[in-house]
């Protein structure tokens, strides 16, 4: 085991321990008094920790992808094609999304506006498109293996 892998194991163990502590606090830390609904006291801390972990993972992924592109410029074309395809899926999803406000009886919320409806529709259509691509890719991989 190298020195770096030992350090990374300690970091991973620490992150798991902190996450376990936040999880236990969330579930057994009590509830906010006089709240309309049952609300755990440590909800905000738990969500902030999840947000920190997500941001750190995203930043590390971007840094290592950029580093990989700098060290292997031949692979840059494939990466740029992948980014372009994801951008195309995003644009198609946004174009398919409907921004007509819904008529919901008894709902007076502030999220029934065209901008939020377009974003929600784009997320849904993007998910559908990417799910379809995954299914077709799996079928293609399996069928091409059968016919070889």
The residue out of 12, 46, 71 marking a domain boundary is 71
Residues 134 and 79 in one domain: yes
Residues 146 and 79 in one domain: yes
pLDDT tens by residue, the chain, 148 residues: 688 899 999 999 999 999 999 999 888 888 888 878 888 888 889 999 999 999 999 999 999 988 888 888 888 888 888 889 999 999 999 999 998 888 888 887 788 888 899 999 999 999 999 999 999 999 999 999 888 7
Q: How far apart are CA 87 and CA 76, in angstroms?
A: 16
Give this prediction's pTM: 0.59
The residue out of 54, 71, 88 marking a domain boundary is 71
Number of domains in the chain: 2
Residues 94 and 138 in one domain: yes
Q: How far apart are CA 55 and CA 52, in angstroms?
A: 5
Containing structural domain, residue 133: 75-148
The residue out of 55, 71, 87 marking a domain boundary is 71
């Amino acid at each position: 085991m190298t020195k770096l892998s030992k350090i990374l194991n300690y970091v991973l163990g620490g992150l798991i321990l902190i996450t376990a502590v936040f999880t236990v606090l969330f579930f057994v830390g009590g509830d906010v008094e006089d709240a309309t609904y049952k609300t755990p006291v440590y909800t905000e801390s738990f969500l902030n920790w999840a947000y920190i972990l997500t941001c750190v993972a995203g930043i590390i992924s971007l840094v290592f992808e950029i580093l990989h592109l700098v060290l292997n410029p031949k692979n840059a074309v494939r990466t740029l094609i992948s980014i372009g395809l994801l951008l195309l899926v995003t644009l198609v999803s946004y174009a398919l999304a409907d921004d007509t406000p819904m008529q919901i009886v008894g709902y007076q919320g502030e999220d029934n506006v065209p901008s939020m409806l377009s974003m929600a529709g784009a997320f849904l259509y993007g998910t559908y498109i990417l799910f379809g691509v995954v299914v077709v890719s799996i079928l293609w991989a399996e069928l091409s293996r059968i016919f070889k």
